[in-house]
Amino acid sequence: MNSGPKRAAFLDRDGVINLDHGYIGRPEDFELCPGVPEALQRLRDNGFALIVVTNQSGIGRGYFAESDYQAVTQRMVSALAGHGLELAAVMHCPHTPDAGCTCRKPQPGLILSAAARLGIDLHRSAMFGDKTSDVTAGRAAGVGRCFFVGPAEQAPAGADGHGADLLSCVGLLLADQA
């Protein structure tokens, strides 16, 4: 058994794990994207800890409270548990874009904090996000592979690959490791 640093899949939430309906502050608005359970199972089965890193400026903007965010997070955790999946961590930034914090992506703070807390080898890890800021945060943190989930024409230059959904991006990552 490998007791050294482990690798992780860092995952944005809105638009990657769940359908992005704008600011999601109610559990009933949380809906998994198609293929997400299978994608996460493949990552888990290939030795990746599953870590969600998400900007939630709806809190800072006053659209919903921290407790509302936590209720949505519990809904996500429960939905994934229904597929036999467990997240190693869920990290969020509640700040607005102009707050100047180090935790809001594209800053790498959420990723670095999770990696330090969980003993993650960033170079052996991967980032999956649907915005340029996700890829930029992964690069800034030193994550080995960064994937863009979305249309090819929107993929940032710094992405290692892109796919229409998380499952296709996971397929690219795992094909490269075969």
pLDDT digits (tens, 9 = 90+) for 118-149: 999 999 999 999 999 999 999 999 999 999 99
Q: What percent of the chain has pLDDT over 70?
A: 97
- Binding site as annotated, residues: 12-14, 20-23, 54-57, 93, 95, 101, 103-105, 130-131
Q: Which of 14, 68, 134, 160 is catalytic?
A: 14
* pTM of the full structure: 0.96
Q: Which of 19-23, 51-55, 107-111 has the lowest mean pLDDT?
A: 19-23
Q: What percent of the chain has pLDDT over 90?
A: 94
Fold annotation for 7-177 = Rossmann fold (3.40.50)
Residue 18: pLDDT over 60:
yes
Asked whether the beta carbons of 27 and 33 are under 8 A apart, the reply is no
pLDDT at 4: 61
Per residue in 51-99, pLDDT (tens digit) is 999 999 999 999 999 999 999 999 999 999 999 999 999 999 999 999 9
Asked whether the beta carbons of 130 and 150 are under 8 A apart, the reply is yes
Indicate the domain borders of the chain.
7-177
Phi, psi (rounded to 5 degrees) for 26: -130, 135
- Binding site as annotated, residues for substrate: 12-14, 20-23, 54-57, 104-105, 131
Q: In whole angstroms, what separates CA 71 from the centre of its chain? A: 18
Residues with Cβ < 8 Å from 106, sequence gap 6 or more? 132, 133, 134, 136, 137, 140
pLDDT at 1: 45
Q: Which of 12, 68, 134, 160 is catalytic?
A: 12
Name the residue among 96, 164, 107, 104 with its Cα closest to residue 130: 164
Label residue 176 by pLDDT band (50, 70, 90). Answer: confident
Question: Is 165 a catalytic site residue?
Answer: no
For 19-34, what is the mean pLDDT?
96
As a whole number of angstroms, the distance between CA 170 and CA 108 comes to 21
pLDDT at 20: 94
Label residue 177 by pLDDT band (50, 70, 90). Answer: confident
Question: Is 121 a catalytic site residue?
Answer: no
Q: Name the strands in the sheet holding 89-93, side by side, starting at the edge strand that comes first in the sequence.
A: 89-93, 48-55, 7-11, 126-129, 145-149, 161-163
- Binding site as annotated, residues for Mg(2+): 12, 14, 130-131
